[in-house]
Each structure stands twice: as structure tokens, then as C-alpha cells.
């Protein structure tokens, strides 16, 4: 990465002037970054934000003041960087050109420097220690969100191994913050920080910061976002304190305290700027709700066990709060896909308590044709491979359906959202070859925005598709949870929100 950076015309020292906030974690690192960026932007600062993956267009990965860079700015920076790397490549080197994510990381640094941002929030891609963003040698502050199991083929099979990888972003003398973690990974982070004299602090819960003042309103739904918001407040306040900003929140507790053998981060009164930043945060595809006529789309890119548990809690709470139709039926639909080395059976098992009427599986392909969908195309897999995986997901779901037990003593027996239904109920399931076909069947032309041409002949010939179409057309309300993959959520958003492609 140092060689790539040098070939691109930069030195590692050049990155020091970006005043970077470097964030990693398993669950919530993107949301933490989004909260942090929005808080600091509310202070009038010009922000850069590098994140991954993108949902609809690759430009989303590089943002200025919260907005994806324009197509013009993207091409302005893309081609000079590409040509510079192409001209300086050495055929004898191990890799002559950087791969996709490394190239975009380099490009983000160039954009932020040339656009003269006041700070840059940088989200780690995978892990931390060996991630290409770890070329950053002097961040202003580091953060680690909730840890769990993910990317095991790269990071290790245990949370402790993964914690070691994540702690690789720590730098000597640079303050770092983390949220409450299980004892094992927390001890790993603590030891990792102590070895290099990195001051590591544990974030107090959001309730401690709210005490004595009005409750904080978050722009992102879900109870799990409170942990991300608590981390973001500490990261933003630490950055502002380093820059000698006034109005960074009056301390509530003057003396430092310890928790789990770690110093507790400051307990302070969030400022008006901080409150507005948290309230105004937008982060598409994470606990996002779109209401369209009789259809309500619930979008969450959960793809690990812990994030899926949080997704299910959020979805069920949202359903409990929903307005009930005065007449007619309600239908619950799951749209799911999972990629990489994740365990789809474990994720699907966590979704069982939602009691869906239909489970729909499709690959992360917006259309069967790749024309006009280059930013959402994965050239590392074939159509046959992704369809076989979808069929495997359907088989996992069918087995879980068969295994589902009756109610336990004391469990509710009549609620739509009861964790254990009174009787094992079979969910009808379908596999479609692309997202567009799946949405065609689910929406049945009833979404006022998603109005594609007529479906291909024979698309709904399957008996389940035929009978289900009638049910969906007559339903008073249809609730659709889209989850399992951020790339799936991105494809759905591209179709439901055409403005995102413009």
C-alpha cells in the first residue's frame, strides 16, 4: 500500500493533514461513522467520509459533506490516478495495479486532500491490522464498534482473534474508544492498546449522557443504534477537543472512573450541535423504512448473527407500532440473500420468529442483464453459482420450517409476532433469478414508484407464485423485510428509489 501510495503521488506523511477518524468493528462501524460525520458537519466543518460497500453507485463510497461525490468529480480524480498507476507499474512486481478496494482507498485520499476537507472519517474495509486503510499512521482518534463473528476465512474463527485484527488500527499515543464488549475480546483490545501505549477508553452508555437532560433523538432506528451513537459522540468530542473547539459538552463527572479494568470515557452533556447531528443522520439501507401505498419495505443489510438479532428486534418492534388496517389481511414477506463465508442457516434461523407468510430468495443482481448495472456487478462469481446458493437458502428455510416447534408454556399464542406460533406453520418460498423479478412478484404492481414493464412470460408459472400473487393483490397491507446482504439492499434501493441512480 505504501508503494501504491507513492506511485499515486503521495507519501504516508501527506495523510496526516487529513485529521482522520479511523473506525472499525463488526457491527455498526458504518453507522458509527455516519453519526460521527454528521455531528462534526453540524459544527460547520467540511467533512470527508470513506465507507464501504456502496449500495447503488460506487461514488457513495467517497463523500464530501455527507453527499456522494458527483460523477464529474469522480471522473476528474479517477482517470489521473488510474493513468499514474498504469504508467508506473512494474511487470516484475507482485501486483502491478491495486485491486478495487485499494484503488478506491487511494482515490479517497486524493479527493479529500485536493478538496481540502477539515477532517475525514474513514471506515475500515475488513479487519483492521492488514486492511489497506491502515496505511494511516497518525489518525486523530480511533473507534471500535461492537465485535462479533464475520469474515472468518480472513480474520479468524473466534471473537478474540477478530478483536486482535480490529485492534490493529491502534496507534501509539492516539486516543481510542470502544463500546462495551464481552470479556474475551475486550481483554484482547486492552492488551493490544497497552502494548503500544495507546490510551483506550470504554464508552459509557447513551443513558448516562442523557441523564439530567432531554432524551437524544437518533436519525437511525433500532435500539442497537444507541451503542453506535454513544461511540460517535466520544469520537466527535475527542476530535473537537484536540482542535480546541469550545462548546464540546460540559462534563457531568469530573473524576475518571474504571469499568472492566478500563478507563471510562467522559460522561458529558451533549451539545445542541451534537443533538442535531444525531437527529439528522441518514444512512441508507440500515433500519430504513419505505412506505408505499399498501407496501411497507423494511431495509436492513444485517449479515452477521449479532446484526441479524438486532434487525429482527427492530423489525418486530416496527410491526408492533404499525397502524392496523380496519379490514383485509396483512402479509409478511422476507426477501433474503447471503454471500461470502457467512452461515446462511444460522441467519435464517434467527428470522424464523418473525413468522413470514412468504420467503423469497434471489441473488444480488438487479436485473438478469448486467447492462447499466456495472456498479452492482460481482465479477468473481457466475450466475449459476449465485442461483445454486439461493436454492440452498431455500432448502435451509424449508428444513427450519419443518423443525419449528409449537408454543412453550407461558408463550403468547395469538399474536402475529409471537416468537412461537400455536402450530408449526409452513412458509411458502420462492427463488427468483434477480431482484427485479422478486420485486415484481412481491409488489404485484401496487408500489406507486416501482412500475416496471410487464413481467416476462411464465415468470409466475410456479404454483406458489400463482397462488401467492392473488394473496398479495388482495392484501390490505404487505410488510417486506429485505435483509442478509447490503448488496441485496442496494439492489432493492436502486429499483425502489430511482433518484439514487441519477
Angstrom distance (rounded) from CA 136 to CA 106: 11
Could you tell me which of 391, 392, 424 has the C-alpha nearest to residue 407?
A: 424
Angstrom distance (rounded) from CA 22 to CA 169: 8
Angstrom distance (rounded) from CA 492 to CA 490: 5
Distance spanning both ends of the chain, measured CA to CA: 33
Angle at which helices 183-195 and 159-166 pack, to 10 degrees?
30
Residue 123 in marked binding region: yes
C-alpha gyration radius of the chain: 24
∠ CA 5-32-199 to the nearest 5 degrees?
A: 75
Q: Strands across the sheet with 176-178, in order?
A: 67-68, 62-64, 47-50, 119-123, 20-24, 141-144, 176-178, 200-202
Pairing of strands 262-263, 47-50: unpaired
Angstrom distance (rounded) from CA 335 to CA 321: 21
Residue 52 in marked binding region: yes
Residue 270 backbone dihedrals phi, psi, to 5 degrees: -60, 140
SS3 state of residue 142: strand
Residue 300 in marked binding region: yes
- Asked whether 96 and 78 are in contact (CB, 8 A), the reply is no
A 10 A CB-CB count for 251 gives 11
Angstrom distance (rounded) from CA 143 to CA 169: 9
206 to each of 232, 262, 309, 349, 494, how far by Cα in Å?
11, 18, 20, 30, 34
Angstrom distance (rounded) from CA 9 to CA 81: 9
> Which sign does the torsion angle of CA 279, 285, 289, 292 carry?
positive
- Asked whether 236 and 39 are in contact (CB, 8 A), the reply is yes
Annotated binding-site residue numbers for ATP: 286, 300
Annotated binding-site residue numbers for Mg(2+): 52, 123, 151
Annotated binding-site residue numbers: 52, 123, 151, 286, 300
Amino acid at each position: 500500500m505504501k508503494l501504491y501510495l507513492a506511485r499515486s503521488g503521495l507519501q504516508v506523511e501527506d495523510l496526516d493533514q487529513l485529521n482522520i477518524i479511523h473506525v472499525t468493528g463488526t457491527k455498526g462501524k458504518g453507522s458509527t461513522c455516519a453519526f460521527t460525520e454528521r455531528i462534526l458537519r453540524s459544527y460547520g466543518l467540511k467533512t470527508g467520509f470513506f465507507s464501504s460497500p456502496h449500495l447503488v453507485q460506487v461514488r457513495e463510497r467517497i463523500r464530501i459533506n455527507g453527499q456522494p461525490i458527483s460523477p464529474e468529480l469522480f471522473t476528474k480524480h479517477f482517470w489521473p490516478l488510474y493513468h499514474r498507476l498504469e504508467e508506473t507499474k512494474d511487470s516484475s512486481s507482485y501486483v502491478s495495479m491495486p485491486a478495487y478496494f485499494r484503488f478506491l482507498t487511494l482515490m479517497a485520499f486524493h479527493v479529500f486532500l485536493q478538496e481540502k476537507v477539515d477532517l475525514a472519517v474513514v471506515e475500515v474495509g475488513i479487519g483492521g491490522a492488514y486492511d489497506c486503510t491502515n496505511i494511516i499512521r497518525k489518525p486523530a482518534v480511533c473507534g471500535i464498534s461492537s465485535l462479533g463473528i464475520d469474515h472468518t476465512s480472513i480474520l479468524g474463527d473466534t471473537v478474540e482473534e477478530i478483536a486482535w485484527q480490529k485492534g490493529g488500527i491502534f496507534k501509539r499515543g492516539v486516543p481510542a474508544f470502544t463500546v462495551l464488549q464481552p470479556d474475551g475480546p475486550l481483554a484482547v483490545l486492552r492488551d493490544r492498546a497497552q502494548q503500544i501505549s495507546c490510551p483506550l477508553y470504554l464508552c459509557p452508555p447513551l443513558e448516562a449522557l442523557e441523564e439530567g437532560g432531554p432524551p437524544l433523538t437518533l436519525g437511525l432506528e433500532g435500539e442497537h443504534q444507541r451503542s453506535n451513537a454513544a461511540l460517535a459522540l466520544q469520537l466527535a468530542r475527542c476530535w473537537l477537543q484536540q482542535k480546541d473547539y469550545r462548546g464540546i459538552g460540559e462534563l457531568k463527572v469530573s473524576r475518571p472512573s474504571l469499568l472492566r479494568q478500563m478507563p471510562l470515557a467522559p460522561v458529558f452533556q451533549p451539545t445542541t450541535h451534537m443533538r442535531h447531528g444525531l437527529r439528522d443522520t441518514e444512512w441508507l439501507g440500515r433500519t430504513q423504512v419505505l412506505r408505499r401505498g399498501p407496501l411497507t419495505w423494511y431495509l436492513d443489510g444485517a449479515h452477521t448473527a449479532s446484526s441479524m438479532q438486532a434487525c429482527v428486534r427492530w423489525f418486530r418492534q416496527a410491526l408492533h407500532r404499525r397502524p392496523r388496517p380496519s379490514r383485509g389481511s396483512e402479509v409478511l414477506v422476507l426477501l433474503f440473500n447471503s454471500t461470502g463465508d457467512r452461515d446462511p442457516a444460522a441467519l435464517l434461523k434467527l428470522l424464523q420468529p418473525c413468522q413470514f407468510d412468504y420467503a423469497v430468495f434471489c441473488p444480488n443482481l438487479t436485473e438478469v442483464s448486467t447492462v447499466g448495472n456495472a456498479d452492482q456487478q460481482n465479477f468473481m462469481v457466475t450466475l449459476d453459482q449465485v442461483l445454486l446458493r439461493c436454492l440452498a437458502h431455500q432448502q435451509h428455510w424449508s428444513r427450519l420450517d419443518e423443525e419449528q416447534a409449537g408454543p412453550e408454556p407461558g408463550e403468547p399464542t395469538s399474536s402475529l409476532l409471537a416468537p412461537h406460533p400455536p402450530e408449526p406453520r409452513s412458509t411458502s418460498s420462492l427463488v427468483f433469478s434477480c431482484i427485479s423479478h422478486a420485486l415484481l412478484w412481491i409488489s404485484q404492481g401496487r408500489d406507486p414508484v416501482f412500475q416496471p414493464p410487464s413481467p416476462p412470460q411464465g415468470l409466475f408459472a410456479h404454483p406458489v407464485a400463482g397462488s401467492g400473487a392473488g394473496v398479495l393483490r388482495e392484501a390490505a397491507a404487505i410488510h417486506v423485510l429485505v435483509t442478509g446482504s447490503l448488496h441485496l439492499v442496494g439492489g432493492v434501493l436502486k429499483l425502489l428509489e430511482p433518484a439514487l441512480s441519477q
